[in-house]
Amino acid sequence: MGGTGMKAALAGPGGQVLHRARRATGRAQGPDAVVAGILDFAAELRAYGTEQFGTPASAAGVAVPGIVDEARGVAVYAANLGWRDVPLRALLAERLGVPVALGHDVRTGGLAEGRVGAGRGADRFLFVALGTGIAGAIGVDGRVEAGAHGFAGEIGHIVVRPGGAPCPCGQHGCLERFASAAAVSEAWAAASGDPGADAADCAKAADSGDPKARAVWQEAVDALADGLVTALTLLDPRTLIIGGGLAEAGETLFTPLREAIRSRITFQKQPALVPAALGDTAGCLGAGLLAWDLLDHTDRMEVTP
C-alpha cells in the first residue's frame, strides 16, 4: 500500500512471482474507500490465483505506511491515507479465509532487501529509505525488528542538527529535514532560484560541477553520514542498504557518503554500503515473505524479482 498506488503479486510455493497487479489507492474517496479497495483487490487476486493455478492462496501479506501495530494486526495511523485504528489483518482474514500478516511498508521492504535483495546472506543489516522522509529497517537473522511499540528503525528522527529546522514530529534538526529527497529538493530549489527543481536536478548539477549544487548535496551527505554513524554505532550492521529516491543518484551519493562515514568512525567497523536492489517492488515482495513466514517457509524462500 502506498499513498497513491497499490502493488500486489501472487507468489508460488518456491516464492516465484506468478502474477503482478497494480491499481490506484483511491485516497481521494476517503479512508473507508481505501480499506474497501484493499479488500476488493486482495479478493480479486485470490480469485485469479484459483482460476489460473487451480488453487487459492494459502496466506496473504500486506504492507502499509504509517504507524502499524503488527502484533495486533492494526493499521494505527497513516496521515496520507486518513485512517486510524483499522483492524486490517482481521478484515482481510475474514474476506480471504486465510492467515494474514500485516507489516509496516519500510520494514517490509527492508525485509525483502535483506533476505532476497541487496542484503542477501547478511546476518545483520540496516535498510534506509531516502524518500519524502527517511525511515529504516533493522534486520537480524532474516527478520526485521519492529520494536516494543512498532517504532524501531525511525532513523529519520535522529537529531543530527540540534536546534535546526523544525520537523513535523515535534523535534528540531531531525535527519530527514536535511537528507531526505524532499529536503534536498527544497534546499536546491531555494539555492538555484528554480521552485520546480528537485533532488535529481541537484545531483545532476553537482555532477556537472555547479558549486551551489555541490554545497547543497554535501550538506545532505554530511547530515546523512552523521545519522548513519549513530545508527551503526548502536546496531553494528554487517550491511548498510540505501534505497529510495535519493539513492537513484548512484555513485553521486554513494562515493561521498562512504568517505563521510569513513571519516567519522573510530572504533566502529564500516559496513558494506550498497544500493537497494528491488526498487519499488520491495514492499510487495516483503509482504509475500511475511505471508510465507506464516506457513513456516522462511528457510526455503527464494524470490525472483
pLDDT tens for 2-15 read: 777 898 999 876 56
> Nearest Cα to 37, choosing from 84, 88, 73, 106?
88
Residue with the larger pLDDT of the pair 280 and 176: 176
Residue 23 neighbours by CB under 8 Å, 6+ apart = 5, 6, 37, 41
What three-state secondary structure class fits 59?
A: coil
Question: What's the residue count for the chain?
Answer: 305
Mean pLDDT of 79-95: 90
Q: What percent of the chain has pLDDT over 70?
A: 96
In the numeric block, which cell numbers belong to residue 18? 506468478
Does residue 107 register a pLDDT over 80? yes
The answer, yes or no, to whether residue 297 has pLDDT greater than 60, is no
Q: What is the mean pLDDT of residues 131-136?
A: 90
45-49, 122-126, 301-305: segment of lowest average pLDDT: 301-305
Among candidate residues 140, 141, 132, 125, the one with its CA nearest the CA of residue 105: 132
SS3 of 118, please? Answer: coil
Closest Cα partner for 113 from 229, 20, 4, 247? Answer: 247
The pLDDT assigned to 142 comes to 84
| Domains recognised in the chain with CATH numbers | 5-104+281-302 (3.30.420.40), 118-276 (3.30.420.40)
Average pLDDT over residues 242-251: 93
Q: How far apart are CA 231 and CA 241, in angstroms?
A: 13
DSSP per residue, 201-244: HHHHHHHTT-HHHHHHHHHHHHHHHHHHHHHHHHH--SEEEEES
Q: Would you state the pLDDT for residue 13?
A: 65
For residue 256, the surrounding DSSP H or E stretch is helix 251-264
**How confident is the model at residue 93, as a pLDDT?**
96
